[in-house]
Structure 1
Amino acid sequence: MSSVLITGASQGIGRAVAVALAGRGHRVIATARRPETLADLPVDQRLRLDVTDQESVDRAVRGAGEIDVLVSNAGETVRAPLESVPLAEVERLFQVNTLGALRVAQAVLPAMRERKAGRLVFVSSIQGRMVLPMIGPYGASKWALEALAETLTIETGHFGIKVSIVQPGAVSSGGGERARVFLGENDPYTPLYEALPALRGELVTPEDVAATVAATIEHPEPPLRVPAGAPAERALRARKEAPENEPFLLAGINW
């Protein structure tokens, strides 16, 4: 069994992944900015790790010991039109979702490269390959994440390191409900925001995504991109089949 470090394990997908992998016999190192939120997880280690803080990342990776697999899951989102979203919020999302993921990957890669073995599993989104209105900053951070992950596949494959990108669609983790919303009074984009539930499509559970992550880790030759669940498969297939020179949405907008 593998030794797996998971970022963002306090709730949602990360917590479900920790439970699933521990149940399969893996040595799980669960991490979060507030390690007290991990107290009830049936894992081997619970460590503080803030993906935006280099010292925190380095300390956690040292404390974890040998890491066979990194599940890079920590992430956040917002709801806002691009016309008026605070740029500080966009920068914050990139710090967490994109640069944070790269920061932790940089911390674990040297040891994996020396051993000529290791796996990096990045939890992305169907929004790493398509866009949804009002969630543009999140989508942009995931497109950037997928570019980094695909580059890592090319750069590190020679050293025996396998990289995979897990792509869920809408997940019933509460992340969307917790997202900060930036809409002014009588905002002209409010009708579009109210249409979001229909645009996001069918929900899957965090446990569904965790099962995909676990299967990816245990696959001898995992693919680069792995849709998590039938709704994600359908969405990504539709995106692939749609004209590249036209905007694409899973559902029409009436606003």
Structure 2
Amino acid sequence: MSSSVLITGASRGIGRAVAVTLEGRGHRVIATARNPETLADLPVDRRLRLDVTDQESVDRAVRDAGDIDVLVSNVGETVRAPLESVPLAEVERLFQVNTLGALRVVQAVLPAMRERGAGRLVFISSIQGRLVLPMIGPYGASKWALEALAETLAIETGHFGVKVSVVQPGAVSSGGGERARVFLGENDPYSPLYDELPALRGDVITPEEVAAAVADTVEHPEPPLRVPVGAPAERALRARKEAPEDEPFLLAEINW
């Protein structure tokens, strides 16, 4: 059965792959981005401007989209910096985009889903919504908060017929990490740790692999709350679950 799906952050990476995959499976896709010109070549039903940090933009996009059966909350950003020196303005920006931005769109689409007695909320999170990686702490914190919101929504809205899922990939070749702003000073004491980061992130999967998992989740009659994507994510989350809770957990040894 086809659905009407609104996707945030569809201009590139995971969001673009999700739009193409869902459209290819016969769904009506409303692709959104801060700059809708970046969506011009996407083979979708609608292309709309949507800035998740702007209430007026969100309200207009949701109004213009028409009926929305599924929200794929994908938009997200990251930075690279130690917590000792990361600019707090950057942390606030990440929470505005990754966490509050997601909630802002949910608040816009949820009333109609609740009144209709059906709907899907699919959040693109990360394994970093359940564990931490050094030098990516602000991003991880925003995703932990996002997962708390998603699980709360699952409890609050389930009896209204709304199903909530959190998709958790590990490292993805979406370009997000390469585009991330890096905050390290000259001769920064954390530079050796930053140099270890590629090894800590583990094996990389493609945006198309994430998109397939999202599409399967959208089409699943009873989707799980959390959906790890790919063997690396499954291994990492299993290791986190099995590790003792009374000490910090790290995916690999750090030599710095």
3-state SS in 1 of match to 2:172: coil
- Counterparts of 2:43 and 2:246, CA distance in 1: 48
Q: Distance in 1 between matches of 2:230 and 2:23?
A: 21
Say whether residues 1:110 and 2:111 are aligned partners: yes
Note if 1:24 corresponds to 2:63: no
Q: Deviations over 1:185-240 (max 9, x none)?
A: 00000010010000000000000000000000000000000001111111100100
Identity %, equivalent residues:
89
Does residue 156 (structure 1) correspond to residue 157 (structure 2)? The answer is: yes
Q: Which aligned runs of 4 or more in structure 1 are off by greater than 2 angstroms?
A: none
SS at match of 1:173: coil
Match of 2:177 in 1: 176
2:198 aligns with: 197
Residue 35 (structure 2) aligns with: 34
Shift of 1:83: 0.1
Q: Which residue of 2 aligns with 1:55?
A: 56
Identify unmatched segments of 5+ residues in structure 1.
none
Matches within 5 A, 1:207-246: 207-246=208-247
After superposition, give the CA deviation of every residue in 1:60-99 in whole Å (9 maximum; x if it has no partner).
0000000000000000000000000000000000000000
C-alpha displacement of 1:125: 0.3
Output the amino acid matched with 1:176: G
Partner of 2:251: 250
Q: What's the TM-score once normalised by structure 2's chain length?
A: 0.99
For the residues of structure 2 that align with 1:245 and 1:144, how far apart are their CA atoms? 21
Q: Per the alignment, in what secondary structure is the counterpart of residue 162 of structure 1? A: strand
The Cα of 1:156 is off from its aligned counterpart by 0.3
* Structure-2 separation of matches of 1:112 and 1:64: 14
**TM-score, normalising length: structure 1:** 1.00
> Could you give the per-residue CA deviations for residues 126-173 of structure 1, whole angstroms, max 9, x where no partner exists?
000000000000000000000000000000001000000000000001
Q: Distance in 1 between matches of 2:77 and 2:29?
A: 22
CA distance in 1 between partners of 2:171 and 2:250 (Å): 14
**Superposition RMSD in Å:** 0.3
Q: What letter corresponds to residue 188 of structure 1 in structure 2?
A: P
Higher mean displacement: 129-138 or 240-249: 240-249
2:205 aligned counterpart, secondary structure: coil
